[in-house]
Structure 1
Amino acid sequence: MKIKFIGGAGTVTGSKTLIESNGVTILIDCGLFQGIKPLRELNWEPLPVLPSTIDFVLLTHGHLDHCGWLPRLVDQGFKGKIYCTSPTKDIAKLILLDSAKIQEEEANKANEGHYSKHQIAKPLYTVEQAKQVFPLFRVVKVNEVVNLDAEIEAVFTNAGHIIGACTIDLMIENKKLVFSGDIGRDDDVLMYAPTKPKNADYIFLESTYGNRIHPDTDTKFELETYINNTVNKGGTIIIPSFAVERAQTVMYLLWQLKSEGKIPNIPYIIDTPMGIRILDVFENNTKWHKLSPNECVEMCKMFTMIIDYKDTIEAIYDKQPKVVIAASGMVTGGRVLSYLEKYIGLPETTVIIVGYQAEGTRGRKLLEGAKDIKIHGKYYEVKAKILEIEGLSAHGDQEDLINWLSNLENKPKKVFLVHGENIPADELRIKINEKYGFDCVVSLMGQEIDL
């Protein structure tokens, strides 16, 4: 059996792990690369195997860095089955359509503004190509055995992180391979704690926060303080947010604060059409999260929900203080850019970063103190206050990741660390080895191993 890391190794984006065994080829996740240009350019490169020869794709969850390359895979000949949970299917469909729409818009803007190095800028894929993925989805239930082949079985178990997210156990060649996917937190605001594996021969564990411990701070109080301080200056609060889970978590906390009378009566805006549609997924899958149906309804009443872009423009030019939640979470695209074009140069503005920012993203640059940022080919001076609330991350930290291994009844032959930049991954490797004595290695992009 051969395992090849063709994404999500040495980086937190582009998750793709290829498994070849006895004539069967399986791809665990099929993510889009984001961040620095050398990574983004990998999205245009062919896979090291013909997509037409891949039999199955198993999706851990619906985030873009785990499903966003599927339209390319299908366009290049993949005709197999894509297995995932029902919420993941719903989320992936929304995310792929949104991704395709943004790419089409970005290509059009680049052509109109003549700021692409290419004579004609093209989207990575179109909305129509994204739709070609949908008929290939096959829904699986949590904890039920899925027979992929006569001698290959898969079981999906709850991973926390976002709604529908799962760890995948793969029984193949009489070996149990466990692919963690993205592991959620043990004390997440909305999601239930991830299910820990009990046995495994080989583990492929994410390491996003392999060298960090989430601060033991009062996230609600931080949000309350930042909002009140900004409104007292007459400013606007912009919260770049992932449309899935993070936007809903921030909405929930704001709703609690408003209900408690701790934040002012100003407009609270959710301007991410996909994030708004995700609310339907939450309402239709209440067993996956902690919110009751009534809480979902009451929470939504507080927010102005913007779908039409003309309403975005109206909100941008409304001078009164407001709180805006808008995608994308790493400030790589989406409507948050339109708000930042107007507000990033105003010292009374506060931008609150509430999630992981990959290397090379605008969000990472803002956190690192960038004096200006480039949006749609133009540079904007950063005068706004840039703050971070680390306690809202949907990823488990170092302690959560180490704890996730604590129920193993056997010693795995090897633990491969994936989905992490090299320094965090290596620090996690050291901690796992010290605590459990497991043979643990950091996976490298393009590396192929024999099991």
Structure 2
Amino acid sequence: MKLTFLGGAGTVTGSKTLLESNYTKILIDCGLFQGLKELRLKNWEQPPINPNELSLVILTHAHLDHSGYLPILVKNGYKGKIYCTKATRDLTEIILLDSGKIQEEDARRANKYNYTKHNPAIPLYDIEDAKDAITHFETFETNKWHIINGEIKFKFVNSGHILGSAFVVIDIKGKNLVFSGDIGRKEPILLPQYEYIEHADYLVIESTYGNRLHRKISITDELLRYIKLTYSKGGILVIPTFSVERAQEIIYLLSLLKRKNKLPEIPIYLDSPMGVNATEVYFKYNNLHKLTQEDIKSMISTVQLISDVNASKAVVNDKNPKIVLAGSGMISGGRVLHYLDKLISDEKNSILIVGFQAEGTRGRSLISGESEIKFFGKFYKVNAEIFKINDFSGHADQGELLDWLQHFKAPPKLTIINHGEPHQSQALKVKIKTDLKWVCTVAKMNKEYNLEN
């Protein structure tokens, strides 16, 4: 057996882990690189593995950095199945179609306004490519083994990160390999807590926040403070929002504030077709979250959901105070750019960052205090106030990662740390070695790790 990290090593994007056992090749996650240009360029390179040689793909969850490369894989010849949970399939379909649409629009805009070095600019993949990828999906329930062949079986176990997210447990001739994907919080806002796993011969664990502890504060109070501050200036609060999980969490918290009559009388919009569709998926899977029917009714009455492009333009051009949740969460594209085009240079407005911002993204630039950011082919002065709530995170912090690890009954033979920037992964490695006395290492891109049978 051997593992090769084709993404998500030394970075939090592009997650792809190749597991080989004899003639079986399994790809765990198939994510898109985001952020730094040197990473994004990897999306355009030849696939790191011949798609025809792959036996199957298993998805831990729907986020683009774990699923966004699937259309390219299929476009380049992959004909096998893509296994995931039902909720992951539904959310991934929404995410991939949206990704294809945004890439088509970005290429069209770049050509129209001539701010591209390519002649012409072309999308990485389009909507039709995304649709083709979706036909390969096959779904399975959690906590049930699925037989791949006489030697290999796998199962999903709830990881508490987003709706449908799961740890992947693979049994190869009696040896257990566990892939964490992304691990959620111990007390998520909407979801049940992650489940514990008792045994792994080999473990791959994420380290997005391997070097920090989330503050124990009232996120609702923080959110209300920034809303009131912006309202007092007569401004507009823009919240660049991840359409899956984060959007639903914020809508829920806003609905709680509204029920307590704490919100100013201003409209609230979710301007994201993907966010609207994802919210409908959440309401569909009542057994996978903690929301009551009263919660759902309150959420629906609190926020105006916008999909139509003309309705979106009307809200963008309306200068009255309001709260707008718009994709994308790292400001890498999507409708949030149209709001920033109008609002980012006016000091009475505010931008609230509510999630992890990868290196090289506009979101990272804003929280780093840069005075200008570039989009639509030009630079914009950042005069709006920039706020950040770190504690919204859907990723376990160092303490929660250790909590999950401590429930293994015996140390794995080897623990490999991935999905983190270098200082985060190294900090978690030191903590695991010091506190748990486990054998562990930090994953390196394209390095092969031979595992004992």
| Range class of TM-score, shorter chain | over 0.9
Unpaired segments of 5 or more residues in structure 2? none
The structure 1 segments of at least 4 consecutive aligned residues displaced by more than 6 Å after TM superposition are none
Describe the superposition over 1:332-363 as per-residue Cα deviations: whole angstroms up to 9, x where unpaired.
Answer: 01100100111100101111100000000000
Offset from partner CA, 1:27-77 (integer Å, 9 cap, x none): 000000000100000001123321011011000000000000000000101
Say which SS state the counterpart of residue 445 (structure 2) adopts.
coil
Instruction: Provide the C-alpha distance between the structure 1 equivalents of 2:298 and 2:320, rounded to a whole number of angstroms.
Output: 24
CA separation in 1, counterparts of 2:45 and 2:320?
A: 46
Alpha-carbon distance between aligned partners in 1 of 2:282 and 2:241, rounded to the nearest angstrom:
17
- Distance between the aligned counterparts of 1:181 and 1:374, measured in 2? 32
Distance between the aligned counterparts of 2:82 and 2:172, measured in 1?
18
Q: CA RMSD in A?
A: 0.8
**TM-score w.r.t. length of structure 1:** 0.99
Is 1:390 paired with 2:390?
yes
Distance in 2 (CA, whole Å) between partners of 1:293 and 1:55 is: 42
Amino acid at match of 1:142: T
Q: How does 1:106-125 map to 2 (within 5 A)?
A: 106-125=106-125
What SS does structure 2 have at the residue aligned with 1:133? Answer: helix
1:132-181 Cα distance to aligned partner (Å, 9 max, x none)? 01221110000000111111010100000100000000011431100001
Residue correspondence of structure 1 range 18-417 to structure 2 within 5 A: 18-417=18-417
* Structure 1 position 367, deviation (Å): 0.3
The alpha carbon displacement at 1:293 in A equals: 2.9
Q: Which residue of 2 aligns with 1:426?
A: 426
Normalising to structure 2: TM-score of the pair? 0.98
Q: 2:301 & 2:48 partners in 1: Cα distance?
A: 49
Shift of 1:410: 1.2
Matched to 2:298, the amino acid is: E
Contact 1:186/1:400 (8 A) holds in 2:
yes
Q: Supply the distance in 2 between the matched residues of 1:191 and 1:429 (Cα, whole angstroms).
A: 28
Q: Which amino acid aligns with 2:16?
A: K
Greater shift in the superposed pair: 76-85 or 291-300: 291-300
* Structure 1 residue ranges without an equivalent (≥5): none
Is residue 7 from structure 1 mapped to residue 2 from structure 2 by the alignment?
Answer: no
Identity %: 47
1:377: how far off? 0.6
Contact 1:4–1:17 (CA<8 Å) still a contact in 2? yes
Q: Which amino acid in 2 is paired with 1:449?
A: Y
Matched pairs, number = 451
Contact 1:196 1:406 in 2 (8 A): no
State the distance in 2 between where 1:63 and 1:217 align.
26
Q: Output one character per residue of 1:242-274: Cα deviation in whole Å (capped at 9) or x when no partner.
A: 000000000000111111111111000000111
Tell me the amino acid that sits aligned with residue 363 of structure 1. G
8 Å contact kept, 1:203–1:416: yes
1:342-394 CA-to-partner distances (Å, cap 9, x unmatched) read 11001011111000000000000000001000011111000010010111111
Offset at residue 294 of structure 1 (A): 3.2
How far apart, in 2, do the equivalents of 1:48 and 1:365 lie?
30
Distance 1:184 1:211 in 2: 16
Distance in 2 (alpha carbons) for counterparts of 1:216 and 1:348: 29
Q: Identify which range, 374-383 or 297-306, moves more after superposition.
A: 297-306
2:357 is paired with a residue whose SS is coil
> Match of 2:442?
442
Contact preservation (8 Å) 1:283, 1:293: no
CA deviations over 1:297-319 (Å, ceiling 9, x no partner): 22111111111121111111212
Q: What SS does the aligned partner of 1:149 have?
A: coil
Structure 1 Cα separation of the partners of residues 181 and 197 of structure 2 = 12
